[in-house]
Amino acid sequence: MSKIATREAYGKALMKLAQQRDDIVVLDADLSGSTKSGSVKKVKPEVFFNMGIAEGNMMSVAAGLAASGKTVFASSFAMFASGRAFEQIRNSIGYPSLNVKICATHAGLSVGEDGASHQCIEDMALMRVIPGMKVFQPADAIECEQLIETIADIKGPCYVRMSRLATEQVHDESYQYEYGKADVIQEGKDVLIIASGLEVLEAVKASELLKEEGIIPTILNIHTIKPLDEKTIIEMAQKHSIILTAEEHSVIGGLGSAVADCLCRNYPAKLTMIGVQDTFGESGKPAELFDKYEIDARHIAKKVREAYYGNNQTR
């Protein structure tokens, strides 16, 4: 199967939207070749603006354009989009609830050799806490393209977290993205893995490792982190004795925290959080980093085994 990065799908979706609609404007902070937003220049150059290495200013310009009736897509690396421009996003986009889609690529440990300074593992926490901000993380290119087309019709600010790394696809071409609705990748029993982004594929690979032992986990893809599909999470939690979350983000403030908040309020249950454990990343190949920080398929399978056999011993 060919490997495609979600950022590639982002560029493809932007080209479609720019050709179909007159309200679309695309901004980038001098990274359009990497974020793939520059693809818009090929089909409609008059709606693309390179704002230079000035993310705060880009967000302020995006706010002004949105206040004038435009649907604005503002792109940069996750570290710069969410971190460097946080104040402008909060005060100029979030507070007035303007129609800006902040699309951040190169998120998480999978940025690889660029190291801790570029491996943003805090962005979902930062964006989740802004009132009214909707937060997304597609699992693959197929889902990403549909997600981008969907949020163009959602009024108000949105944050989309995408990866640099090209990966295999979790979905096939028949897949239909549904805003705010958790995606059941596979149904199993006893074990529930709630994953997002690149970790959905790692959860699928972990399931293959566990299959020979007769452990078939249910895998739930959370592409919409906020608003969270609490109904499905609660229903699934009630059917499974073991619940794990898996994310390429800090376990503080990300998917794990969102699921824990939901369960604590509605269905208190023990939860194992797989993710970056209150530490920075480092330079290395993505696969090596996933292994070291214990977020790859092998470590997900290990955590499932620990919980599964531990539970069975106490029954």
Active site residues: 55
Strands 240-250, 218-221: pairing is: unpaired
The residues, ordered by sequence, that sit 6+ positions from 98 with a Cβ below 8 Å of its Cβ are: 62, 63, 66, 67, 92, 156, 157
Question: CA-to-CA distance for 306 and 303, rounded, in angstroms?
Answer: 5
Question: CA-to-CA distance for 8 and 61, rounded, in angstroms?
Answer: 25
Q: How many residues does the chain have?
A: 315
Q: Which residues face 224 on adjacent strands?
A: 136
Question: CA-to-CA distance for 252 and 100, rounded, in angstroms?
Answer: 26
Question: CA-to-CA distance for 116 and 4, rounded, in angstroms?
Answer: 24
